[in-house]
Amino acid sequence: MADALRSLRLAAGLSGERLAVRCNMSQTKISRIETGRALPTVLDVERILAALDVPREVADELLRLARRANVDYASWRAYARVGLHQKQTELRALERSSRVMRHFLPAVPTGLLHVREYAERTLSRTVAGDPARDVRRAVDARMERQAVLDDPSRSFTFLLTEQAVTWRRAPADVMAAQCSHMAAVARKQNVEIAIVPRAAEVPAIPMNIFVVYDERLVTVELFSGEVVLRDPRDVAHHLDLFAVFLDHALTGSEARSYLLATADEFLRGEQ
């Protein structure tokens, strides 16, 4: 794609500086895109192609390349081969490079909210086809990641469905501890935990776990792996979805009270 964009610019008789002016980009950005040192967004490619007045069939092919380049997929098998703790290290770096993080959690609380016993359950093998993994090392790495919640320069919104809170992924005492822990974390000034109750009438379907990092990328979890989206339109779409669900959620003291009441229910059920 980089070679093609450079060839099209040269064929149009434009310098990098003139193309940059037409696209309202810096000449440095144009150079980095053409040399493959920077990944252009789909919007960047659209602006360059429009400035070069590229024929429709050529533009369509390059836009397809741009969309593929802006979507990454990694399977959990691939992560397991190098060690799931490496995935935790990758997430830690991503969190350290972001300021605003929004987690949509329709099925399970995220690792940043886990107590150790719950983390052990979620990181253990589920079905026979799951690859072997070093659970203890992955859990240790997950627990270390949670230190980022104490950084007041970063803000976190964890938006869960009621099912994510109550799904019995562990024994009742562990579920109770998990709920109580989330209620405690929700008291941090830079953390908001919101819960969409089952009774809420929501004009959207909670299909996938996703996390939006600032406004630059989205990670989407699947059964088999994880997809990373960088197209600004994909990011904006997920931000809009997040806002819809958040509008129907319990927040603040209501969410904390719900979590503590649910913890009590788990303990009473165990007795």
What's the pLDDT score for residue 270?
A: 66
Number of Cβ atoms within 10 Å of the Cβ of 142: 24
Q: DSSP strand E in the chain: where?
A: 71-75, 100-105, 155-161, 191-196, 210-213, 217-221, 225-229
What's the pLDDT score for residue 38?
A: 86
CA dist 225 → 4, 83, 111, 136, 221 (Å): 31, 14, 16, 21, 6
What's the pLDDT score for residue 189?
A: 97
- Average confidence (pLDDT) over 210-225: 92
pLDDT single digits (tens) 116-175? 999 999 988 787 777 667 888 889 999 999 999 999 999 999 999 999 999 999 999 999
pLDDT single digits (tens) 51-101? 999 999 999 889 888 877 777 787 877 777 777 777 888 888 889 889 999
pLDDT band at 191 (very low <50, low <70, confident <90, very high): very high
What's the pLDDT score for residue 88?
A: 84
Number of Cβ atoms within 10 Å of the Cβ of 21: 15
Q: What is the distance between the alpha carbons of residues 63 and 193, in angstroms, rounded to a whole number?
A: 38
What's the pLDDT score for residue 271?
A: 54
Nearest Cα to Cα of residue 154 among 122, 116, 187, 192: 192
pTM of the model: 0.77
Question: What rounded mean pLDDT belongs to the chain?
Answer: 91
User: Which has more confidence, 32 or 72?
Assistant: 32
What's the pLDDT score for residue 131?
A: 66
User: How is residue 113 annotated by DSSP?
Assistant: G
Q: What is the distance between the alpha carbons of residues 124 and 139, in angstroms, rounded to a whole number?
A: 10
- Average confidence (pLDDT) over 229-247: 93
Nearest Cα to Cα of residue 51 among 85, 98, 17, 97: 17
